[in-house]
Amino acid sequence: MLLKDKIKMEKEMEPLVVLHLEGIFWKAYEWSAFRFVREIKSYKVQKRYVKQLKREIVSLGFPQEVLERILPLGCSLVSKEEKCAVVRVSESGTTDAFNVWKANVEEGEKKEQPMQPQSLAVVQEEFVDYGASLLTKAPPDKKTASAKVIEKLQAFQVEVASPIQCMMFVSELQACLKEQL
Protein backbone atom coordinates (compact mmCIF):
# COMPACT_ATOMS: atom_id res chain seq x y z
CA MET A 1 0.00 0.00 0.00
CA LEU A 2 1.35 3.43 -0.95
CA LEU A 3 1.72 6.26 1.54
CA LYS A 4 -0.97 8.31 -0.23
CA ASP A 5 -3.41 5.41 0.27
CA LYS A 6 -2.51 5.18 3.96
CA ILE A 7 -3.11 8.92 4.38
CA LYS A 8 -6.50 8.61 2.64
CA MET A 9 -7.54 6.05 5.26
CA GLU A 10 -7.26 8.67 7.99
CA LYS A 11 -10.66 9.85 9.20
CA GLU A 12 -10.81 13.22 10.88
CA MET A 13 -13.99 12.66 12.87
CA GLU A 14 -13.78 8.96 13.76
CA PRO A 15 -11.98 8.04 17.01
CA LEU A 16 -9.76 5.44 15.34
CA VAL A 17 -6.03 4.83 15.16
CA VAL A 18 -4.98 3.07 11.97
CA LEU A 19 -1.63 1.26 12.28
CA HIS A 20 0.29 -0.04 9.27
CA LEU A 21 2.88 -2.81 9.52
CA GLU A 22 5.99 -1.73 7.63
CA GLY A 23 8.77 -4.26 7.98
CA ILE A 24 8.98 -4.99 11.71
CA PHE A 25 7.43 -1.68 12.81
CA TRP A 26 3.84 -0.52 13.23
CA LYS A 27 3.43 3.04 11.91
CA ALA A 28 0.70 5.61 12.49
CA TYR A 29 0.27 8.65 10.27
CA GLU A 30 -1.34 12.07 10.70
CA TRP A 31 -4.63 11.78 12.69
CA SER A 32 -3.76 8.30 13.90
CA ALA A 33 -0.40 9.51 15.23
CA PHE A 34 -2.16 12.44 16.91
CA ARG A 35 -4.71 10.20 18.64
CA PHE A 36 -2.07 7.62 19.54
CA VAL A 37 0.15 10.03 21.49
CA ARG A 38 -2.86 11.70 23.13
CA GLU A 39 -4.77 8.62 24.22
CA ILE A 40 -2.60 5.50 24.08
CA LYS A 41 1.07 6.23 24.74
CA SER A 42 3.46 9.12 24.31
CA TYR A 43 5.90 8.32 21.53
CA LYS A 44 8.37 10.21 19.41
CA VAL A 45 6.75 11.80 16.40
CA GLN A 46 8.47 12.65 13.16
CA LYS A 47 7.49 15.21 10.53
CA ARG A 48 8.83 15.09 7.01
CA TYR A 49 7.96 16.64 3.68
CA VAL A 50 6.73 14.09 1.11
CA LYS A 51 7.23 15.25 -2.48
CA GLN A 52 4.61 12.94 -3.99
CA LEU A 53 1.93 14.34 -1.66
CA LYS A 54 3.34 17.89 -1.75
CA ARG A 55 2.92 18.31 2.00
CA GLU A 56 4.34 17.49 5.39
CA ILE A 57 3.36 14.19 6.98
CA VAL A 58 3.56 13.39 10.69
CA SER A 59 4.17 9.79 11.77
CA LEU A 60 5.33 7.57 14.58
CA GLY A 61 6.51 3.98 14.72
CA PHE A 62 7.22 1.21 17.20
CA PRO A 63 8.39 -2.42 17.01
CA GLN A 64 5.84 -5.09 16.13
CA GLU A 65 5.94 -6.84 19.52
CA VAL A 66 5.04 -3.62 21.37
CA LEU A 67 1.49 -3.63 19.94
CA GLU A 68 0.36 -6.43 22.25
CA ARG A 69 1.62 -4.52 25.31
CA ILE A 70 -0.03 -1.27 24.24
CA LEU A 71 -3.52 -2.58 23.51
CA PRO A 72 -4.59 -3.14 27.13
CA LEU A 73 -4.03 0.58 27.83
CA GLY A 74 -7.69 1.60 27.54
CA CYS A 75 -8.35 1.04 23.86
CA SER A 76 -9.95 -1.74 21.89
CA LEU A 77 -8.79 -3.50 18.75
CA VAL A 78 -11.44 -3.06 16.04
CA SER A 79 -9.71 -5.16 13.40
CA LYS A 80 -6.32 -6.65 12.70
CA GLU A 81 -5.13 -7.93 9.37
CA GLU A 82 -1.68 -8.97 8.26
CA LYS A 83 -0.46 -5.42 7.53
CA CYS A 84 -3.08 -3.20 9.18
CA ALA A 85 -4.61 -2.84 12.65
CA VAL A 86 -7.39 -0.48 13.68
CA VAL A 87 -7.76 0.59 17.31
CA ARG A 88 -10.71 2.52 18.77
CA VAL A 89 -9.92 5.34 21.19
CA SER A 90 -12.29 7.44 23.27
CA GLU A 91 -12.22 10.71 21.31
CA SER A 92 -11.24 11.88 17.86
CA GLY A 93 -9.91 15.34 18.75
CA THR A 94 -10.65 18.64 17.06
CA THR A 95 -9.18 19.91 13.83
CA ASP A 96 -7.74 22.91 15.67
CA ALA A 97 -6.04 20.69 18.26
CA PHE A 98 -4.60 18.50 15.49
CA ASN A 99 -3.28 21.51 13.55
CA VAL A 100 -1.62 23.03 16.63
CA TRP A 101 -0.08 19.67 17.56
CA LYS A 102 1.23 19.09 14.02
CA ALA A 103 2.63 22.62 13.78
CA ASN A 104 4.62 22.02 16.98
CA VAL A 105 6.36 18.94 15.61
CA GLU A 106 9.59 20.16 14.05
CA GLU A 107 10.51 18.78 10.65
CA GLY A 108 13.23 16.17 10.73
CA GLU A 109 13.19 15.95 14.52
CA LYS A 110 11.30 13.72 16.89
CA LYS A 111 9.63 16.19 19.23
CA GLU A 112 7.39 14.06 21.46
CA GLN A 113 8.78 12.70 24.71
CA PRO A 114 10.55 9.36 24.22
CA MET A 115 8.89 6.21 25.43
CA GLN A 116 10.50 5.17 28.69
CA PRO A 117 11.14 1.45 28.97
CA GLN A 118 8.74 0.17 31.61
CA SER A 119 11.07 -2.55 32.78
CA LEU A 120 14.35 -0.61 32.84
CA ALA A 121 14.89 -1.34 36.54
CA VAL A 122 14.49 -5.07 35.85
CA VAL A 123 16.95 -4.88 32.95
CA GLN A 124 19.43 -3.01 35.14
CA GLU A 125 19.11 -5.56 37.95
CA GLU A 126 19.63 -8.49 35.59
CA PHE A 127 22.56 -6.77 33.94
CA VAL A 128 24.24 -5.93 37.24
CA ASP A 129 23.82 -9.57 38.32
CA TYR A 130 25.26 -10.70 34.99
CA GLY A 131 28.21 -8.32 35.26
CA ALA A 132 28.83 -8.74 39.00
CA SER A 133 32.26 -10.27 38.43
CA LEU A 134 33.23 -7.31 36.25
CA LEU A 135 32.25 -4.90 38.99
CA THR A 136 34.66 -6.46 41.45
CA LYS A 137 37.59 -6.40 39.01
CA ALA A 138 37.42 -2.68 38.14
CA PRO A 139 39.46 -0.09 40.05
CA PRO A 140 37.21 2.06 42.28
CA ASP A 141 38.08 5.33 40.50
CA LYS A 142 37.17 4.12 37.01
CA LYS A 143 33.67 3.65 35.67
CA THR A 144 32.99 -0.06 35.36
CA ALA A 145 32.10 -1.67 32.06
CA SER A 146 28.67 -2.65 33.35
CA ALA A 147 27.97 0.93 34.48
CA LYS A 148 28.99 2.20 31.02
CA VAL A 149 26.76 -0.36 29.34
CA ILE A 150 23.81 0.54 31.58
CA GLU A 151 24.25 4.21 30.70
CA LYS A 152 24.38 3.37 27.01
CA LEU A 153 21.28 1.16 27.31
CA GLN A 154 19.38 3.98 28.98
CA ALA A 155 20.35 6.43 26.25
CA PHE A 156 19.71 4.14 23.27
CA GLN A 157 16.33 4.69 21.61
CA VAL A 158 15.41 1.36 20.06
CA GLU A 159 12.02 2.63 18.84
CA VAL A 160 13.72 4.88 16.27
CA ALA A 161 16.76 2.73 15.45
CA SER A 162 17.04 0.52 12.40
CA PRO A 163 17.75 -3.21 12.79
CA ILE A 164 21.33 -2.59 11.60
CA GLN A 165 21.80 0.17 14.20
CA CYS A 166 20.50 -2.20 16.90
CA MET A 167 22.98 -4.91 15.86
CA MET A 168 25.83 -2.40 15.85
CA PHE A 169 24.76 -1.17 19.28
CA VAL A 170 24.82 -4.71 20.71
CA SER A 171 28.28 -5.18 19.20
CA GLU A 172 29.43 -1.95 20.86
CA LEU A 173 28.08 -3.13 24.23
CA GLN A 174 29.88 -6.44 23.87
CA ALA A 175 33.15 -4.66 23.05
CA CYS A 176 32.73 -2.45 26.11
CA LEU A 177 32.31 -5.52 28.32
CA LYS A 178 35.30 -7.30 26.76
CA GLU A 179 37.54 -4.30 27.53
CA GLN A 180 36.95 -4.88 31.22
CA LEU A 181 37.95 -8.56 31.17
- Give the strand pairing for 25-29 and 84-88: unpaired
Whether this prediction's pTM lies above 0.75 is answered by no
Is-contact 5 29, C-beta < 8 A? no
CA atoms within a 13 Å half-sphere pointing along the CA-CB vector of 112: 24
Residue 172: alpha-carbon gap to chain centroid = 21
Q: Are residues 9 and 93 in the same domain?
A: yes
Q: What percent of the chain has pLDDT over 70?
A: 77
Q: How far is 36 from 17, CA to CA, in rounded Å? A: 7
Q: Are residues 99 and 45 in the same domain?
A: yes
pLDDT tens column, 124-162: 554 454 454 444 444 444 567 777 788 888 887 887 778
Asked, for residue 110, whether it belongs to a domain, the answer is no
Q: Are residues 73 and 37 in the same domain?
A: yes
Q: Are residues 149 and 80 in the same domain?
A: no
Asked, for residue 133, whether it belongs to a domain, the answer is yes
Q: Are residues 43 and 95 in the same domain?
A: yes
pLDDT tens column, 107-129: 764 344 444 444 455 445 544 54
Give the domain range for residue 88: 3-103
Confidence class for position 181, pLDDT limits 50, 70, 90: low
Q: Are residues 154 and 91 in the same domain?
A: no
Is-contact 178 146, C-beta < 8 A? no
Number of domains composing the chain: 2
